[in-house]
Structure 1
Amino acid sequence: MGNNSNYQLIEDCEATNKSLYNFYAAVMIVIFILALPLNASVLHLFIFKLKFWKSNSNNIFLFNLVLADILLLFCLPMKAYNYIQGERRSSNDIVCKAMLFMLFLNRGASIAFLSVTSIDRYFNVVHPGRKNLLKAIKKSPQISIIIWLLLLPLTIPTMLQNFDCCNSHKNDDDKKDDALIKDVVDSLREAVFFTQILIPFVILVYCTVRIVNRLRKKTVGDRTKLKRAVFLVTAVMVVFSFCFLPCTIARMILLIVRVKELDEVYQDKAAVAFDGLMVLSYIDCLLDPLVYCFCSTKFKALYLSNYFPFLIRGTQLPVESSTDHTLRPVCNTVL
């Protein structure tokens, strides 16, 4: 498969199945409309009500998780516009690279903060008396700053080439040196793509299993709260698996199809499936605040009292205590 026509499909940004990409665009618009106000309202509570910087590390991580989700959401309208125009990516090289950089930076940040939140809960539940790095700087944003700084150089390879628009292939006219550089960049990019999902998934599974086992062994405490805690940590793993594992598998299949230089029709189907499952991964922006924040009864009370006070009947729950950083943090009440 060495002729130039075979590379046209790989290098071209045109969407071959325009009706399907219109559906992808509609899904992203719905995600944007639903998730943006939800995440923005949660972010407002973290800043002005909970004062996350005065709280423990878990609230700091959750704030950064919501922030990363919001930044990713701002990329979706442009991506949806490209799909409606019949393009898999923007035809403008600078816009394409900038969009990919923002998407993968904030997606990586969302996964990273999801992972450290699980690790923090793991130590709090399984090893409550053990000194650890997260507890040592629990009132400091140092870990969050380090995560953002580490993600920047890891995401740079997405700006060096157009990822899927100009992906991982060279034709016979490429210079040898340029081809070598492309191969190195492509290999690094693919390594980052897979490790930023597979490693956190392993961490998440381990933390979830240990936390659930520890909670089920507890003989004291409110059984309702213990069941809610088990549901929360299990839901986190289910959401992660549902949103991120399918696109990872699709990416692996897409690479195999292209490396083996199979027929164009198979490459096209693999690319379309990958793009669709990437859209599925953006649902994580909608599910994160629901899973992490609204599983807490105190946070739900705080949210309702600020945005939907008319829904609260009878005696209002003491939500003010949840803003006191000397008490147990809102998002940790279930644990």
Structure 2
Amino acid sequence: MTPLSLENPLTPENPLTPENPDHCQTLNQVTYQILSWIMVLEFSLGLPLNLSVLYVFIFRFKFWRNKSVFLFNIVVADFMLVACLPVKIFHYQHAVRRSGNPLLCRALLFMLFLNRGASIAFLIMLSLDRYFNVVHLGRRNFVRVLKKTPQISVLIWLLLLPFTVPTMVSTFECCNSHGRSNETYYHDVTDTFREAVFFTQILVPFVVLVYVTVHMVGRLRQKTVGDKTKLRRAMCAVTSVVAVFSVCFLPCAVARAALLGVRLCGWEGVEVVAVQVYDGLMVLSYTDCLLDPLVYCFCHSGFKDAYLSTFCPAFLHRRLNAAAATSTAASTLSGARTVSLPLVEK
């Protein structure tokens, strides 16, 4: 079989087979050109947005005083992702899915795996904090204790490293050859462990998020007396995290599972399409660097106020504050009516 090259890319007529295992070349140059321009847009929006967020966190919000160390770690993870995008853009525009340089390929995948793991870990910690504050109010909240200690954040990063190392093992091929019949036993074990880490770090936290969200909704419905504003804010924070998962992380996990299934079944023609779908959803997952600032606003109103006062015009900031005050007043009146109705019935 003719070896693959930029002039001889993968096609349904020249599929992926054990004799033709290299699938680092783009499967459809038009598709990957479009994906590269989508990443250009993500980088163009993500870099200034995250720079502005970082400025506010350090110089205006002073995150270490506002117990927002977890939020700051998500900003760091987002910067790691934004730094990787120009390399991915360069590859896609030059008709390759991954770098042919083993060192660069492994370093880039290491950064992407570490970014994804860190973002998910700290988002889950934030959601658990809101969960304990709402559902188990009055009990000792261990997450609140943890987020006051910066060393815990360092420990989380260190714990993520062992799960990211498989991307740098020498047997790791740049384009995920798991499922090939020509793999060695050691190669197969390495790929299996990497795939297990990939799915575990997405599916397990998603189950935790669903559990947290369901119980918080139940607690919100049970509260018929008093101010619901804090409960609604906590609910919005967790809902924003669920939205990030649903848009950025869950679709690429489903596409990855479908790709592995197609590959293990030996459907080479279908695999060409599955690989393109998977790469497209991976590009979509990079939008978490654009969506995470919404999570910051929902998780801490002080950050939102600091950001708006820094970058929004004064008249717009005043209007937003007036709208927020009106909404709070309406919630208070609604709460008062909830209390008076049972008295009328009696």
Deviation of 1:238 after TM superposition, in Å, equals: 2.4
Equivalent position to 1:190, from 168, 181, 195: 195
Q: Show the 5 A alignment for 1:1-335.
A: 6-7=17-18, 10-56=21-67, 59-160=68-169, 161-162=171-172, 165-169=175-179, 172=182, 179-223=184-228, 226-262=231-267, 264-293=268-297, 297-312=301-316
In 1, Cα distance between equivalents of 2:135 and 2:264: 44
| Partner residue, 2:344 | none
In 2, Cα distance between equivalents of 1:314 and 1:171: 64
In 2, Cα distance between equivalents of 1:295 and 1:311: 25
In 2, Cα distance between equivalents of 1:136 and 1:299: 20
Q: How many residues are paired up?
A: 307
- Any unmatched runs of 5+ in structure 2? 1-14, 322-346
> Conserved in 2, the CA contact under 8 Å of 1:120 and 1:134?
yes
| Partner residue, 1:320 | none
In 2, Cα distance between equivalents of 1:169 and 1:30: 34
Deviation of 1:223 after TM superposition, in Å, equals: 4.9
Query: Which stretch shifts more, 232-241 or 187-196?
Result: 232-241
TM-score normalised to structure 2 length:
0.81
Deviations 1:221-249 (A, max 9, x none): 54566545433422321221122111111
Q: How has the CA–CA distance of structure 1 residues 115 and 229 changed in structure 2, closer, same or farther, with 3 Å as cutoff?
A: closer
- Any unmatched runs of 5+ in structure 1? 318-335
Structure whose alpha-carbon radius of gyration is higher: 2
- Alignment-mate amino acid for residue 303 of structure 2: F
Deviation of 1:184 after TM superposition, in Å, equals: 1.1
Deviations 1:248-290 (A, max 9, x none): 111111111111222x221211111111111111111111112
- Alignment-mate amino acid for residue 190 of structure 1: E
Query: Which stretch shifts more, 39-48 or 98-107?
Result: 39-48
> Conserved in 2, the CA contact under 8 Å of 1:15 and 1:87?
yes
Q: How has the CA–CA distance of structure 1 residues 208 and 83 changed in structure 2, closer, same or farther, with 3 Å as cutoff?
A: same
In 2, Cα distance between equivalents of 1:29 and 1:204: 31
Q: How has the CA–CA distance of structure 1 residues 210 and 265 changed in structure 2, closer, same or farther, with 3 Å as cutoff?
A: same
TM-score normalised to structure 1 length:
0.84
In 2, Cα distance between equivalents of 1:168 and 1:101: 17
Deviation of 1:166 after TM superposition, in Å, equals: 4.7
Q: How has the CA–CA distance of structure 1 residues 50 and 157 changed in structure 2, closer, same or farther, with 3 Å as cutoff?
A: same
In 2, Cα distance between equivalents of 1:281 and 1:306: 29
Q: How has the CA–CA distance of structure 1 residues 32 and 312 changed in structure 2, closer, same or farther, with 3 Å as cutoff?
A: same
